[in-house]
């Protein structure tokens, strides 16, 4: 038996960040992970490998479509799928080994295996029992299932299987028009597949700004993706290596079917807490199976905390990281805090989509007076130079104070551009503060300044 100040269960973004931060603050820390490599879903079968494939297929698109426009002539590249997967796996290995190095550097003990919590203050890993003053559950999430759809990770796959298909599909059906479905659908569309997205609601990316969603759908359609909205999937079956998906249109209850070589089930994720023994411990769960916590991430059982996808809030790696930092600081006697009003969300397609804070829809629902500052990337010289002038930046501000309430971007590097707005919001800045900040020319970030200017007297280049 080993004694620790803190045992973190799960080495995903929330868990490993929590463990490292706690170690930095002087705690004796262990982290339990059953996978062969650290990093959780994100680094192994999620964020990182999907970005590798998005990057590879973006360059493929550029070579096939835009190189000739720039005078770069030659034979168009062919896809070596095995080599692309090898590149993806190498990216995963570099990142997961990096976390292992950070554990050694910060003297975090990796307890290899799957954990259970027999009692408060105790964590069992395999046959070994360990004691800890504090336990943090950071076990993440898993793909949500759908009645009538049985996943085999070969023909009917989750995001995990979609990252390692044996061969490229000619036709793919994506069930779910959220972030994961659209990112992976984009990858295979660039690789030549006919991709059809089936979404239950009448719009894509629920929760995002409505104008962004419409623009995003239009751009993806131009890229070759098809969409069936307002459709409830009834089931999917595999016969002779092919899949058939049946669905009903909500507007008239008519039933239809579509065939594909591969079906990606991307209807969201659910907390993964299997095997921990939470029910026997008396840990309170929500109706959705999330662990209930207070403002300090404490569960209903003293000494046990929880963070990340296992608790309420957006299932985002960086949200889990922030919570990991916060709970580590709380346990070390500091005042850990997360500002949930300033957590950005990004979709890594081309163009990228990024958002933070309020949307026009939420502000209208709240009856709050606001102003909109908007600027199209068509007015940005750098964006036009890279064939990405279709998107825009939208900033929402309080009508009286000019304080930034939210922002929504679709365009080049949107996932990076959003962070200057996040910093401004964190410090309670007004749109005028952004507008009066000098931005280098020519950069994509000038579109952010122009949108801020549009909140006042007007943009210069519009």
* Angstrom distance (rounded) from CA 127 to CA 257: 50
Return d(Cα 405, Cα 131) in angstroms, integer.
Answer: 45
The DSSP call for residue 290 is P
SS3 call for 154: coil
Q: Do residues 289 and 305 make contact, with C-beta atoms less than 8 angstroms apart? A: no
* Torsion 383-221-78-264 (CA) sign: positive
Beta bridge partners of 347: 353
**CA atoms of 286 and 284, how far apart (whole Å):** 7
Paired sense of beta strands 122-125 and 194-199, if any: unpaired
How many residues would you count in the chain? 462
Choosing from 130, 305, 441, 461, the catalytic residue is 441
Q: Are 44 and 98 in contact (CB under 8 A)?
A: no
Q: Are 423 and 342 in contact (CB under 8 A)?
A: no
CA–CA dist 418, 427 (Å, integer): 15
Write out the H or E segment, with its range, that includes residue 128: strand 128-137
Answer yes or no: are the C-beta atoms of 183 and 205 closer than 8 Å.
no
* Annotation says 441 is catalytic: yes
Residue 68 C-alpha from the chain's centroid? 33
Cα-Cα-Cα-Cα torsion 81, 86, 92, 95, nearest 10 degrees, comes to -130
Active site residues: 441
């Amino acid at each position: 038996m080993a004694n620790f100040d803190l045992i973190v269960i799960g080495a995903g973004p929330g868990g490993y960040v929590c463990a490292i931060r706690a170690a930095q603050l002087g705690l004796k820390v262990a982290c339990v992970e059953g996978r062969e490599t650290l990093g959780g879903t994100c680094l192994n079968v999620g964020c990182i490998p999907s970005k590798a494939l998005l990057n590879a297929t973006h360059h493929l698109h550029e070579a096939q479509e835009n190189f000739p426009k720039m005078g770069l002539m030659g034979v168009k590249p062919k896809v070596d799928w095995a080599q692309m997967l090898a590149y993806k796996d190498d990216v995963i290995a570099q990142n997961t080994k990096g976390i292992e190095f950070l554990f050694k550097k910060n003297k975090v003990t990796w307890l290899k295996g799957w954990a259970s919590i027999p009692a408060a203050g105790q964590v069992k890993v395999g046959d070994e029992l360990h004691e800890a003053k504090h336990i943090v559950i950071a076990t993440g999430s898993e793909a949500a299932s759908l009645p009538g759809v049985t996943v085999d990770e070969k023909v009917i796959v989750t995001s995990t299987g979609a990252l390692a298909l044996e061969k490229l599909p000619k036709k793919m059906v994506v069930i779910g028009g959220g972030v994961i479905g659209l990112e992976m659908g984009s990858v295979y569309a660039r690789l030549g597949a006919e991709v059809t997205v089936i979404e239950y609601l009448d719009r894509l990316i629920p929760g995002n700004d409505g104008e962004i969603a419409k623009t995003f759908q239009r751009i993806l359609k131009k890229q070759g993706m098809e969409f069936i909205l307002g459709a409830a999937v009834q089931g999917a079956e595999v016969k002779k290596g092919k899949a058939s998906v049946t669905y009903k249109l909500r507007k008239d209850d008519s039933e239809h079917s579509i065939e594909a070589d591969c079906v990606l089930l991307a209807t969201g994720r659910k907390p993964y807490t299997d095997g921990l023994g939470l029910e026997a411990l008396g840990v309170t769960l929500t109706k959705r199976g999330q662990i209930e916590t207070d403002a300090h991430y404490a569960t209903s059982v003293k000494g046990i905390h929880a963070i990340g996808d296992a608790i309420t809030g957006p299932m985002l790696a960086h949200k889990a990281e922030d919570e990991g930092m916060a709970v580590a600081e709380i346990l070390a006697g500091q005042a850990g805090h997360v500002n949930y009003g300033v957590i950005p969300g990004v979709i890594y397609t081309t163009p990228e989509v990024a958002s933070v804070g309020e949307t026009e829809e939420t502000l209208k629902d709240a009856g709050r007076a606001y102003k909109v500052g908007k600027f199209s990337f068509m007015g940005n010289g750098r964006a036009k130079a890279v064939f990405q002038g279709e998107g825009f930046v939208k900033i929402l501000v309080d009508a009286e104070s000019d304080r930034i309430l939210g922002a929504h971007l679709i365009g080049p590097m949107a996932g990076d551009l959003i962070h200057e707005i996040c910093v401004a919001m964190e410090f309670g800045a007004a749109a005028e503060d952004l507008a009066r900040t000098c931005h280098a020319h020519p950069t994509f970030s000038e579109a952010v300044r122009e949108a801020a200017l549009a909140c006042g007297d007007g943009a210069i280049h519009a």
